[in-house]
Structure 1
Amino acid sequence: MLSRFVLWDSIGNKVYCGSAWSDAVTVINCENDSVIKVIRTGASTPCQATYAYKQRKIYIVGEWGPREAVICAKGDTLIKNLNKFFYDEFPPIYNPLEDKLYASIGDSLYVIDCVTDSIIKVIVPGDDINEVMCFLPWSNRLYFTTTNYKEGNSFNTLYVLDCRNDSIISSLRFGEGVFWMATNPLTGQVYISDFCESTLYVFRDEIIGIEENTERKFFQKSRLYSYQDKIIIYYSIIIPSLVEISIYDLYGRRIKKLYSGDVKKGEYKIIWDKTDYSGRKVSSGIYFIILNKENSKERLKVIIY
Structure 2
Amino acid sequence: MKKLLLVLPIILYAQVIDTVIPLFDEPRERFLYIPDGNKLYINLSQSHRLLVLDCSTYAVRKIIPLPSSHFPCATFPFWYQKGNKIYYVFNIRPESIAVIDNRTDSIIKWIPWRTITPIVYNSKIDKIYASARGYLGIIDPETDSVVKIIPPSPYPFGPILVWDSIGDKLYTTHWEWGSDKVIVLNCLNDSVIAVISTRISPAGAVYNPLRRKIYLAPAYRRTGCVICAKGDTVIKYFYPVTFDWAIQQLIWNGLEDKVYWPGYDYDDLYVIDCETDSIIKTIRPPPWISDGLRLNHSSNLLYIGTRDTVGAGCNLFEILDCHNDSVISQIRFGGLGIGMEYHPIRRKIFIGDLMDSALYVIGVESIGIEESHLPHPAFRQSLAIYPNPAKSVIRVRWSREFSPFGKIPDSGTPFSQSALGGLKIFDVSGKLIKEVALTGTDQEIKIPLKGIKPGIYFLQLGKETKKFMVVK
Asked whether the two chains share a fold, i.e. TM above 0.5, the reply is yes
> What is the alpha-carbon distance in structure 2 between the residues aligned to residue 62 and residue 247 of structure 1?
42
Q: Find 2:328's aligned residue among 154, 163, 169.
A: 169
1:66 alignment partner, one of 222, 230, 234: 222
Question: Match of 2:192?
Answer: 35
What's 2:157 paired with?
2
1:191-250: CA deviations, max 9, x gaps? 11111111112233455688542xx5347xxxxxxxxxxxxxxxxx5x98436433899x
Letter in 2 for 1:287: I
Correspondence for 2:210: 54
Equivalent-residue separation in structure 1 for 2:326 and 2:317 (angstroms): 14
Structure whose residues are more often strand by fraction: 1
Whether 1:95 aligns to 2:234 is no
SS at match of 1:129: coil
- The structure number with the bigger radius of gyration is 2
Q: What TM-score, normalized by structure 2, do the two folds share?
A: 0.49
Distance in 2 of aligned mates of 1:240 and 1:11: 31
Return closer, same or farther for 1:81/1:248 CA change in 2, 3 Å cut-off: farther
CA distance in 2, matches of 1:282, 1:23: 41
1:219-234 equivalence runs, <5 A: none
| Counterpart pick for 1:178 among 309, 315, 337 | 337
Task: Answer yes or no: is the 8 Å Cα contact 1:247–1:288 preserved in 2.
Answer: no
Name the structure, 1 or 2, with higher relative contact order (CA <8 Å, separation 6+): 2
Distance 1:159 1:201 in 2: 14
Aligned with residue 198 of structure 1, among 357, 362, 381 = 357
Tell me the distance in 2 between the aligned counterparts of 1:248 and 1:154: 49
Q: Does residue 109 of the first structure (1) align with residue 247 of the second (2)? A: no
2:238 aligns to what? 82
1: distance between equivalents of 2:368 and 2:457?
Answer: 15
Task: State the SS of the aligned residue for 2:292.
Answer: coil
**1:253-268 alignment to 2 at 5 Å?**
258-261=396-399
Please tell me whether residue 136 in structure 1 is matched to residue 275 in structure 2: no
Aligned length in residues: 258
**Matching of residue 160 in structure 1 with residue 319 in structure 2:** yes
Amino acid at match of 1:20: W
> Aligned residue for 1:146?
306
Residue type at the aligned position of 1:47: A
Mapping 1:264-279, distance limit 5 Å: 276-278=434-436
Q: Distance in 2 between matches of 1:160 and 1:199?
A: 22
Deviates more, 1:117-126 or 1:137-146: 117-126
| Displacement after TM superposition at 1:277 (Å) | 4.3
Partner of 2:456: 287
TM-score by length of 1: 0.74
Question: Alignment RMSD, CA only?
Answer: 3.2
Aligned mates of 1:289, 1:104 — CA distance in 2: 25
Amino acid at match of 1:97: L
Q: What's the CA shift for 1:258?
A: 2.0
Q: Please say if residues 191 and 202 of structure 1, whose CA atoms lie closer than 8 Å, have aligned partners that are also in contact.
A: yes
SS at match of 2:219: strand
Rounded to whole Å, the distance in 2 between the matches of 1:247 and 1:165 is: 26
Deviation at 1:170, TM superposition (A): 0.9
The superposition leaves residues 239-290 of structure 1 with CA deviations (integer Å, 9 ceiling, x where unpaired) of: 98436433899xxxxx97622339xxxxxxxxxxxx9544562422323699
